[in-house]
DNA sequence: CCTCTCATGTAACTCGTTACATGATTTC
DNA sequence: GAAATCATGTAACGAGTTACATGAGAGG
């Protein structure tokens, strides 16, 4: 609880969108322009947090109006003290429950009706996506994300390592589930070659 | 994918929202009214697919206008043949990529700056949510979801079993990650009591 | 010169949620 | 007869995406 610092407004946070806070977070590592910001988000948290240009520039404006960021020497945006303090308070509040929107899982829910081929196709689609996610995360070299002049030593590496490990762990769990699911289907006599649709490669 | 039947429109799907298709999917199991529909969705796919009342009734209307559902004897909605055919085609198309909106992970990304206590709090919050998810899924008895008169025997059970297994698998992976994360923090001598670290290499 | 990447923005739109409004029926 | 649950809807709002518009600078 006890935040002791006093700023122009008390303990409460301004009602920024989660995306605005995310932007603020990325700027807390080092100043960037909008374009670099977008790239950094895509690269590091891309598959559990998206920021489109349609959001990015308006939100940057909002952050500027709140006095949380200011223009740096070059054309990049940098955190102000107010911004840093606000970010800290945001980080200390419990996160909103994670949301998922998993259409593939919904389809699976009804796919038995459409036939085992459809079911298998869904599982393989999922496997392909999980594999890609895992491989991208594996290929990521921790600590090599940001330009050297902005390195903030081992702590940053820890955070990115945790995020990366999370991505890999969930992807692997997904893959294990795919194995299990396909095995269960096979057990029940369902095989890829059998039945209606031969699935063209997707 | 050889769908041979001919309906008033050719192979292409009408541009329904994913939510509308989901509703159609649930009605393909057995007729329900809006209220029951919502409950079923919440219970079975609640944490990767939400349907609010603000969407539900308008989408039911859309489905009705498309001739995909019709009123049953009681006040429930039931699938038409057209509806069933459309559902099958939808199921056969590749699912949209799964989306996530995981604020907790984003916070973690910047939490080292705010201090190890914040980091630990985030991990524990995540652990609590994952535990709850896993336990709810575990407590679910497969096949007991829907009224007996509508049982469609083993296939439906398979689908729900797969979904349930998926939920449990991902939740457990999340928990394993929490263990690992906390262990890593402990290894580095990071404990909740320590306050904000030294940063700023610049 | 043309194309690609960098860079910044806006307008229209979609999807979805929250909060509200209403009333019937059941249960205590 | 009060409260809870069942049941159906709508209006206002919010967040985010897509597509568009524009232009600078670099490299072929």
pLDDT, tens digit, 9 for 90 and up, residues A107-155 = 999 998 888 999 999 999 999 999 999 999 998 876 554 444 444 444 5
- Tokens standing for A189? 């006599």
CA angle centred on B144, ends B36 and B75, rounded to 5°: 25
- Tokens standing for A139? 């290929």
Distance, in Å, from the CA atom of B122 to the CA atom of A158, rounded to the nearest integer, reads 14
pLDDT, tens digit, 9 for 90 and up, residues B89-139 = 999 999 999 999 999 999 999 998 888 899 999 999 999 999 999 999 998
Distance, in Å, from the CA atom of A66 to the CA atom of A96, rounded to the nearest integer, reads 22
Q: Which residue of B97, B121, B201 is in closest CB contact with A151?
A: B201
What does the pLDDT read at residue B113?
85
What does the pLDDT read at residue B6?
35
CB contact under 8 A, A169 and B176: yes
What does the pLDDT read at residue B192?
54
CA atoms within 13 A on the CB side of A97: 11
Q: Which residue of A25, A99, A101 is in closest CB contact with B110?
A: A25
Q: Is the pLDDT of residue A11 over 70?
A: no
pLDDT category, B142, cuts 50, 70, 90? Answer: low
CB contact under 8 A, B95 and A107: yes
pLDDT, tens digit, 9 for 90 and up, residues A78-106 = 999 999 999 999 999 999 999 999 999 99
CA-based torsion, A197, B154, B45, B135: positive or negative: negative
CB contact under 8 A, B103 and A104: no
Among residues B176, B180, B158, which one has the least CA distance to residue B168? B176
CA-based torsion, B3, B90, B93, A171: positive or negative: negative
Distance, in Å, from the CA atom of B94 to the CA atom of B11, rounded to the nearest integer, reads 15
Distance, in Å, from the CA atom of B44 to the CA atom of A102, rounded to the nearest integer, reads 13
What does the pLDDT read at residue B143?
56
Contacts of B103 in chain A (CB under 8 A): 18, 49, 95-96, 98
Residue whose structure tokens are 């369902």: A190
Distance from residue B121's CA to nucleotide C4's C1', rounded to whole Å = 45
Measure CA A2 to chain center: 30
Q: Which nucleotide comes closest to A33 if you measure CA to C1'?
A: C7
Q: Which residue of A18, A156, A176 is in closest CB contact with B103?
A: A18
Q: Are A106 and B49 in contact (CB under 8 A)?
A: yes
Top pLDDT among B11 and A187 is at A187
Q: Are B137 and B164 in contact (CB under 8 A)?
A: yes
Q: Which nucleotide comes closest to A103 if you measure CA to C1'?
A: C15
Distance, in Å, from the CA atom of B110 to the CA atom of A95, rounded to the nearest integer, reads 13
Mutation for B interface: A24, A106, A160, most B CBs within 10 A: A106
Please tell me the distance in Å from B34's CA to the nearest CA on chain A: 18
Distance from residue B63's CA to nucleotide D11's C1', rounded to whole Å = 22
Distance, in Å, from the CA atom of A96 to the CA atom of A84, rounded to the nearest integer, reads 21
Distance, in Å, from the CA atom of A25 to the CA atom of B106, rounded to the nearest integer, reads 8
Q: At what angle do helices A154-187 and B153-187 cross, to 10 degrees?
A: 160
The answer to whether A58 CB sits below 7 Å from nucleic acid chain C is yes
Distance, in Å, from the CA atom of A161 to the CA atom of B141, rounded to the nearest integer, reads 37
If you write DSSP's letter for every residue of B88-138 in order, what string do you get? Answer: HHHHHSPPPPPEEE-HHHHHHHHHHHH-HHHHHHHHHHHHHHHHHHHHHHH
Q: Where are the beta strands (DSSP E) in chain A?
A: 69-71, 77-79, 99-101
Distance, in Å, from the CA atom of B7 to the CA atom of A1, rounded to the nearest integer, reads 63
């Amino acid at each position: 609880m006890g935040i002791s610092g006093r700023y122009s407004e008390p303990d409460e946070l301004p009602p920024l969108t989660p995306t605005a806070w995310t932007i603020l977070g990325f700027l807390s590592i080092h100043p960037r322009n909008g374009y670099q910001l977008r790239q950094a988000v895509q690269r590091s948290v891309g598959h559990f947090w998206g920021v489109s240009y349609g959001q990015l520039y308006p939100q940057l404006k909002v952050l500027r109006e709140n006095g949380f960021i200011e223009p740096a020497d070059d054309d990049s945006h940098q955190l102000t003290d107010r911004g840093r303090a606000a970010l800290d308070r945001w980080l200390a509040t419990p996160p909103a429950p994670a949301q998922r929107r998993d259409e593939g899982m919904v389809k699976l829910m009804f796919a038995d009706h459409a036939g085992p081929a459809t079911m298998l196709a869904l599982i393989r689609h999922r496997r392909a996506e999980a594999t890609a996610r895992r491989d991208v995360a594996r290929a990521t070299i921790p600590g090599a994300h940001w330009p050297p002049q902005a390195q903030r030593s081992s702590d940053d590496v820890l955070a990115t390592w945790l995020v990366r490990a999370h991505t890999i762990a969930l992807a692997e769990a997904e893959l294990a589930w795919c194995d299990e699911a396909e095995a269960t289907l096979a057990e029940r006599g369902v095989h890829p070659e059998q039945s209606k649709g031969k699935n063209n490669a997707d």
